[in-house]
Structure 1
Amino acid sequence: MKNNIIDMNYVILIILFVLIFFSFIYGMSVVHFEIFPFDFIKKLKISVLSDNNSIDDNSKIYENDFNSLIRFSTENEILNTRSELTNYIWNHNLPKNIIPQIDSNIYDSNYDDLKNLKKIDRITTVMDFEINSISYLFVAEKSNNKLIIYHQGHSGDFLNGKNTIEFFLNKGYSVLAFSMPLLGMNNQPMIDSSNFGTIQLTSHNHFKFINSINFSPIKFFVEPIFLSLNYVDKQFDFESYNFVGLSGGGWTAIIYSAIDDRISNTYSIAGSVPISYRSIQQNFGDYEQTLPELYNIANYFELYLLSSYGDSRKLLQVFNKYDPCTEKTF
């Protein structure tokens, strides 16, 4: 009796194996030859994705007359808007004479496996409220004499973009890499506010507590780039500066390129969308992305034009449909 049970289990296992094998083979045939039930599965997939991505009343993108939102039409008006942005960010006091701290030819074990790397210069910028920015200049050994500015986003340290940095180095580009304020190697200082008490700055949204008529925290996002490029201008002779930014770094790329025409080509990946595209609350963005005082001077459509205006300048924005940075918006 016991042997019969064992034999029966053995037969069942063989039958299950055969069924699974032929099911797998048939499934592969359905995909490859598009035989039944390929059309049904395809329609079901489209239906499910459509249901999951349906647009409710809180996430609609409403029609706008975009031409009417662009308030300049002449070169003088464009240059005046750029000047207004610069004056707003630095309160009419562009830091032309400030020199960041330079530590040349440093060693960082995180990057000791990079090829075509001649040296790393560390550039440290210290700003108001002791907020700092630590950037690395990766100098290519065999250089095409062009510079890529790589800016990481809200995910943290530009170490997260090591593969991108390596890609450009291997192509002969030197790379100037940044993290956003308060992220990566950058500090998160304590401040004493007469109105709010002692606050540790750990989020960009904390910047609203130090924003005032005479001071814009937007400078924390762009001043390190400005000072670093001034250093690069004096020490190197690159043919062009090109900006690549991811997420919040893509936002920074557009803002910075709008105020500094030394940037030739700007590539923003999942970087920014206009205010009218931000109906979903969780996709509204941090302090810097929706600050009225900034976007009253130049809204996003105008910033896109400013960042690409000039001889041999261009802006390319990249959005991936199922990118978690952008899927709620699109």
Structure 2
Amino acid sequence: MKRNETINIGQVARRTIAMEASAINDLQQFIDADFEKVVEQVAQCQGRLVVTGIGKSAIIAQKIVATLNSTGTAAIFMHAADAIHGDLGMIREEDIVMCISKSGTSAEIKVLVPLVKNFGNILIAMVGNMSSFLALEADYVLNTTVSQEACPNNLAPTTSTTAQLAMGDALAVCLIEWHGFTAADFAKFHPGGALGKKLYLKVGDLSKQHQAPQVALNSSLREVIVEISSKMLGVTAVLDEKGLLKGIITDGDLRRMLEKDVPAAAVTAQDIMSLHPKLIQQDQLAINALEMMRQHDITQLLVMDGERYKGIIHLHDLIREGII
């Protein structure tokens, strides 16, 4: 295929983005009573939302299904072509069917729609042609009409599929808010990878992987250095005789003490400790520990269970788990 020597790549890219952004913005006028009814019906559905389509619309349907499932709304994808060759069997009595199509007139859609209606299921159309067969036959219509495709020939689905995707996201977000779906709920469906860890991994899960460095108020300088070195976290907590936290000693505290003209043999932990260490409760999310470290420009926090010292969480723990 020959190159068009007159093409301005940057200009074409910016024009495409502008056209698609305009199409998404225009969708606001189509958020009507039907859209609200669709949200209500899907939210109260005892079955699943079966999303179907053909061609590029089928790909958008799969993305919408993935978003819905990951945010607490049961959904399943059914390819419109496969549906009329046996996959209709996946539709249950309590399910709702949503058919996505730009034209609403493709051959597969015309065959599929009467079959779904014969089953008695609610039929939702997400369609870009409000006078089409699909729009007229559906119980509810989500209007995704666009003025033109970004494709210079006005043929390749570009603006239209972007509009479908945005309408699907609008539906999903409304359902999230309808159900009061929280970050904790989200974590249940995303346990793997860095995203899942940010949502469920607790500070205590990481701190218990280390021994908890600690010294007494009257511990000698040598004992402090040995404790910090042996636990390899660059820090130790200082506890009183009741086991209550009194302070913290870091590598930096040791260096600053050694720079002073002080007899090392007479130095104890309480002489060099910092009195107000940064603390975090063990039931806090690890991502919260990262935010605290960034806020205070430090690399470790003392982990607490109420008033009791439990250990250390270090920046390296968060890096190792992919939180950063």
Give the TM-score taking structure 2 as reference length: 0.23
Which protein has greater RCO, CA pairs closer than 8 Å, 6+ apart?
A: 1
Larger radius of gyration: 2
Give the structure with the higher percent helix. 2
Give the TM-score taking structure 1 as reference length: 0.23
